[in-house]
Amino acid sequence: MSHEKDLLLVPLHVSYIQNLGKACFLQHNKNDLMYHLTAHLRMNAIYWGLTALCTMGHPEALARDEMIDYVMSCWDEEAGGFGAHPDHDAHILSTLSAIQILVTQDAIEKLDIDRVVKFILSLQQPSGVFAGDSFGEIDTRFSYIAVNALSLLGRLEDLDVDKTVNYIVQCRNFDGGFGSRVGAESHAGQVFVCCAALTILDRLDVIDTPTLSWWLAERQLPNGGLNGRPEKLEDVCYSFWVLSSLSMLKKLHYIDSDKLTSFILSAQDPEGGGIADRPGDMPDVFHTHFGVAGLSLLGYPGLVDIDPVFCMPAALIEKKGLRKGWQALERRTGYEKSSATVENVLESEHAT
Amino acid sequence: MTEPTRYADRPEWSDVLPVEQYENANPLAPIFYTNEYKDATNYFRGIIKTGEKSQRVLELTEHIIRLNPAHYTAWQYRYETLLAIDSNLEDELQLMDELAITHLKTYQVWHHRRLLMLKIRKPAAELVFIAKTFKVDAKNYHTWSYRQWLLAYFNDDELWGGELDFVEDLLYADIRNNSAWHHRFFTVFQSGVHDGEENRERVLKRELIYVKQSISLVPNNASAWNYIRGILEHHSIPYSRVTTFVQPYTLSMDEQTADLVDLDNPPPSKGAHLPCAFAIEFFADIYEAEGGDSMLKATELWKSLGNEYDIARKKYWEHRIREGLRAIQT
């Protein structure tokens, strides 16, 4: 393994994200098909980029005013939510990303909170799950998004908690994990959203913690990376979803942190910056964000604390009084490898 | 391959006013188009503005979703158009077959089929189609969840009845297909009692034999061990019930003694990789449940896992040892 991949190449990743933002200001048509095919992810992409920058300690690297203007230009006046791109219909995914961006940028006053809350609540189905939009896709991801968003907006009391929790409980599988809807297979991404939603709602009691923690521990492969379900490939994004779930369940020490750290670092692109899903693949802002987030939870030196429940800067969440009980590995000061033991695992106090 | 004629150059579209994508002075994230996509989506925005629902709208939306299957507004508008002009939805479903295979990982493709099925209401044929797509990607998460929805929604015992054979075929192709194992559990234990499955004792026995035989063939299969644990826990049966079955899997090939063909306790097949870490873990859980002196035996097994048989999870096994020793002291 080359020496340059033993460290997190922060300046390179910062400029990688900056370049994604800067490409927008070029006036001539780049004829980049891929760029527009990802229009429906644009709001999410900005949130991923911004949060990654925050975790790496460079929140100022993307222009704040232009970012806020963009977010507001995605406001769907008819629906009362945010689309992924101007002229796109409002969707719960882009609405959360918009809220997260505005909270991070300290610009929440731009929001018509009542309308956004109304939009989010309107998406709850009779079964208790949330839809993404009027198209009708349902997924426990959207339940988490609703809980996260309402919490950030200080309007969690408007939610029918029991109804929301009851649907999540029905998604609990025989292996302790959770799926996207009732009957669906356990998947690390869905486990994350269910754990996080239940954490925010103080209902971790419905989780079979020993079984789920073991299922999560089983995601680690011999190469150090984590997969999303048995017999699937490792992927950097699971570094966050599996890790943050274990963080919430207070079982972070189940993972071999050195091996996972090495795996994430090996997925970096040492030339152009950014992190890919696995070593050798093309990087993207999604995996860059989740890779850096995972490293932060693992105590990688020089990074800023991230809140695993909201996937946002921990200090911000704490300031809003939303911090829940979760674990992170102690931030190392040097770059030597260290092992996670029960002793160096930090537990945050539940905010009162 | 030449690009198709732009809508802007087609006389039959000349009555539509195309609408350019919104681009403000300094957007943070403008979109760069190829001409074909730009042209098509301009005209799409044009017909949305007028609210047109017609055959040519179907042509246009099909063009867009072929270029960009994630364009959920195009899917939504297409569905509304199909209903508005009273299109043949079964023809639409068939048209979508090709798109489904090409864009398996796109949620919209499956959601569109779901909406169509709510109208067409012919789930049997749809199950056959889904089975075909599994030949391309046997673990596709959207597809599996769609199949589960279809079965639960129509809740037809004849349909449910075919699922065991279906799972069997998939596991024959790949015994480690976790999605298939999950689906089996869902079908047998989590979707009510179907015709022919009323004798729950018999069903339980059948499933235990099934998973044991699978383990016998391929012991190193996480899904199978999760399955047997799931069955026992679901019925509140202690793990110790299967001690005799599990024990040989905790030993090496040389240490095997079973000669008899015992249906209740199929032994490891020749060539199996032994000892099996999952079996050792299972055995340790049996000891742990016994408590007392057995706890020390459990910690010995956990040590062997952390040091030799499941080194990737050394940290986890060290935790189990710590917890176990703590339990002895109290």
Please give the pLDDT value at position A33.
52
Distance (Å) of CA A341 to CA A73, B318, B322: 47, 10, 12
- Tell me, letter by letter, the H, E, C secondary structure of chain B: CCCCCCHHHCHHHCCCCCCCCCCCCCCCCCCCCCHHHHHHHHHHHHHHHHCCCCHHHHHHHHHHHHHCCCCHHHHHHHHHHHHHCCCCHHHHHHHHHHHHHHCCCCHHHHHHHHHHHHHHCCHHHHHHHHHHHHCCCCCCHHHHHHHHHHHHHHCCHHHHHCHHHHHHHHHHHCCCCHHHHHHHHHHHHCCCCCCCCCCHHHHHHHHHHHHHHHHHHCCCCHHHHHHHHHHHHHCCCCHHHHHHHHHHHHCCHHHCCCCCCCCCCCCCCCCCCCCCHHHHHHHHHHHHHHCCCHHHHHHHHHHHHHHHHCHHHHHHHHHHHHHHHHHHHC
Give percent above pLDDT 90 in chain B: 71
Cβ distance A37 to B68 less than 8 Å, yes or no, reads yes
Residue B260 lies in a domain: yes
Who has greater pLDDT, A132 or B5?
A132
CB-based contact (8 Å) between A281 and chain B? no
Q: Which residue has the tokens 């993307």?
A: A62
Token duo for residue B249: 């899997």
CA dihedral B148, B153, B157, B163 (to 10 degrees): -10
Q: A274 near A267, Cβ under 8 Å?
A: no
CB spacing of A179 vs B145 below 8 angstroms: yes
Asked whether residue B224 is domain-assigned, the answer is: yes
Which residue in chain A is spatially nearest to B178 when comparing CA positions? Answer: A230
User: 10 Å Cβ neighbour count for A157?
Assistant: 7
Q: Pick A32's closest partner by Cβ from B32, B183, B314.
A: B32
Quick one: CA torsion of B226, B231, B232, B234, rounded to 10 degrees? 110
Please report whether residue B293 resides in a domain. yes
DSSP letter, residue A329: E
What are the chain B neighbours of A46 within 8 Å (beta carbons)? 28-29
Sole residue written with tokens 């050798």: A280
In this predicted structure, what is the pLDDT of residue B271?
85
Amino acid, single-letter form, for residue B29: A
Yes or no, beta carbons of B190 and A214 under 8 Å apart:
no
Looking at the predicted structure, is the pLDDT value of residue B309 above 60?
Answer: yes
Instruction: Kindly state whether residue B88 falls inside one of the protein's structural domains.
Output: no
Contacts with B145 from chain A: Cβ below 8 Å: 179-181, 183-185
Q: What is the reported pLDDT for B127?
A: 97
List the beta bridge partners of residue A234.
A227
A352: number of Cβ within 10 Å: 4
Question: Catalytic annotation on B105?
Answer: yes
pLDDT at B260: 64
pLDDT tops 60 at residue B31: no
So what's the pLDDT on residue B261? 74
Distance between CA atoms of residues A212 and A198, nearest Å: 14
In this prediction the ipTM stands at 0.89
Picking from A123, A144, A150, the residue whose alpha carbon sits closest to that of residue A191 is: A144
Q: Tell me the chain B residues in contact with residue A63 when contact means C-beta distances shorter than 8 Å.
A: 28
For the residues B70-99, what does the mean pLDDT come to?
Answer: 92
Whole-angstrom CA distances from A163 to A116, A159, A200, B224, B317 are: 20, 9, 15, 33, 37
Q: How does residue A34 score in pLDDT terms, banded at 50, 70 and 90? A: low
A340 interfaces chain B, CB cutoff of 8 Å? yes
Q: Where are the beta strands (DSSP E) in chain A?
A: 75-76, 81-82, 306-307, 312-313, 327-329, 345-347
Query: Residue A181 and residue B183: Cβ atoms within 8 Å?
Result: no
Residue position matching structure tokens 């949330």: A130
Among B49, B105, B119, B314, which one carries the catalytic annotation? B105
Rounded Cα–Cα distance for residues A332 and A244 (Å): 18
CA dihedral sign, ordered B249, B253, B255, B259: positive
Given an 8 Å threshold on Cβ–Cβ distance, is B111 in contact with A46? Answer: no
Instruction: Decide if B115 and A184 are in contact by the 8 Å CB cutoff.
Output: no
Query: What is the average per-residue pLDDT within A56-74?
Result: 92
pLDDT digits (tens, 9 = 90+) for A87-112: 788 999 999 999 999 999 999 999 99
Which residues of chain B lie closer than 8 angstroms to A231, CB-CB? 176-178, 222-223
B108 neighbourhood in chain A, CB within 8 Å: 135
Residue ranges of A 142-181 with Cβ closer than 8 A to chain B: 173-175, 179-181
pLDDT at A1 over 70: no
Angle, CA B90 vertex, CA B85 and CA B94 arms, to 5°: 115
Tell me the pTM: 0.90
| Tally of structural domains, chain B | 1
Q: Does residue B18 lie in a domain region?
A: no
CA A238 to chain centre: 10
Q: Which comes out higher in pLDDT, residue A278 or B256?
A: A278
Q: Are A40 and A85 in contact (CB under 8 A)?
A: yes
Interface test with B, best of A33, A36, A172 (most B CBs within 10 A): A36
CA distance B143 to A110: 40
Alpha-carbon distance B223 to nearest alpha carbon in chain A (angstroms): 7
Q: Count CB-CB contacts under 10 A for residue A298.
A: 23
Pairing of strands A306-307, A312-313: antiparallel
Q: What is the pLDDT of residue B25?
A: 35
Which residue on chain A is closest to B322 by alpha carbon?
Answer: A342
Cα(A111)–Cα(A155) distance, rounded to whole angstroms?
Answer: 13
What is the rounded average pLDDT for all residues in chain B? 90
pLDDT over threshold 70, residue A273? yes
Residue A77 — pLDDT band, cuts 50, 70, 90? very high
Q: Count CB neighbours of A61 within 10 A.
A: 17
User: Does B134 map to a domain?
Assistant: no
Cα(A286)–Cα(B227) distance, integer angstroms: 33
Q: How far is B111 from chain A (nearest CA, A)?
A: 7
Mean pLDDT of B162-168: 95
Helix orientation angle between A236-248 and A285-297, rounded to the nearest 10 degrees: 40
User: Between chains, do B27 and A232 touch, taking CB under 8 Å as contact?
Assistant: no
CB contacts, 8 Å: A180 with chain B: 141, 145
**Given this model, what pLDDT does residue B83 score?**
97
Contact B29 A183 (CB under 8 A): no
pLDDT of residue A2: 47
Residues in chain B within 8 Å Cβ distance of A134 = 76
Best of A18, A20, A35, A37 to mutate (most B CBs within 10 Å, chain B): A37
Residue A271 CB partners (closer than 8 Å, separation 6+)? none
Confidence of residue A135 (pLDDT cuts 50, 70, 90): confident
**3-class secondary structure per residue, A94-122:** HHHHHHHHHHHCCCHHHCCHHHHHHHHHH
Instruction: Tell me which residue in A35, A174, A339 faces B32 most closely, judged by beta carbons.
Output: A35
Domain around B290: 197-330
Chain A, chain B: beta-carbon pairs less than 8 Å apart: 161
Query: What integer is the mean pLDDT of A218-234?
Result: 95
Share of residues in chain B with pLDDT > 70 (%): 93
User: Partners of A307 in the beta sheet?
Assistant: A312
Task: Tell me if chain B has a CB within 8 Å of the CB of A318.
Answer: no
Can you read off the two tokens belonging to residue A9?
Answer: 């190449």
Residues facing residue A345 across a β-bridge: A329
Residue B173 in any domain: the answer is no
Write down the mean pLDDT value for chain A. 90
CATH code, domain carrying B262: 1.25.40.120
pLDDT of residue A345: 59
- Is residue B274 scored above 60 in pLDDT? yes
- B106 inside domain: no
Average pLDDT on B179-204 reads: 95
pLDDT at B98: 83
Higher pLDDT, B162 or B3: B162
Task: Report the half-sphere exposure of B228 (CA within 13 A, side-chain side).
Answer: 25
pLDDT of residue B162: 95
User: What are the start-end ranges of the H helices in A161-313?
Assistant: 161-170, 188-200, 209-217, 236-248, 257-266, 285-297
- Provide the pLDDT for residue B8: 87
At residue A108, the pLDDT reads 96
User: For residue A343, is pLDDT > 80?
Assistant: no
